[in-house]
Amino acid sequence: MTIQNAQQEVDQWIKTIGVRYFSELTNMAILTEEVGELARIMARKYGDQSFKKNESSDQLGDELADVLWVLICIANQTGVDLTDAFKKNMEKKTLRDKDRHHANDKLK
């Protein structure tokens, strides 16, 4: 699935099952919530915290997908083509950082 396909699929789902997009501000709050849920799993699976009895580490993929879903919703409702935005962002990072990380002794 391409990023463009994902944007189209989310838009179709919203229009047929979800009724309409939540407001941009509501989606920003939901994104923050979903990132928090992802952070909780990361802290427990890769950090120093332990899982509670009712929690599971196998939810990582689902939480990442929730973050992606809301990002796509925000992109769709604000008219952002994520494929184009991602390509431009990669070009920016490549130009800016092409030598920076190789010169960083902390990464060696």
pLDDT, tens only, 86-102: 999 999 999 998 888 88
Tell me if 100 is assigned to some domain.
no
How many domains is the chain built from?
Answer: 1
Residue 36 lies in a domain: yes
> What are the distances in angstroms from CA 79 to CA 7, 8, 11, 20, 28?
11, 12, 12, 15, 15
Nearest to 27 by CA among 64, 68, 88, 86: 68
Residue 34 included in any domain: yes
Tell me if 89 is assigned to some domain.
Answer: no
In a domain, 90, yes or no: no
Domain at 30, CATH number = 1.10.287.1080
Q: Exposure of 41 by Cβ count < 10 A (0-12 exposed, 13-18 middle, 19+ buried)? A: buried
What are the tens digits of pLDDT across the range 35-54? 999 999 999 999 999 998 88
Inside any domain, residue 107: no
Residue 98 falls inside a structural domain: no
What's the pLDDT at 108?
Answer: 85
What 3-state DSSP class applies to 55?
coil
End-to-end CA distance of the chain: 35
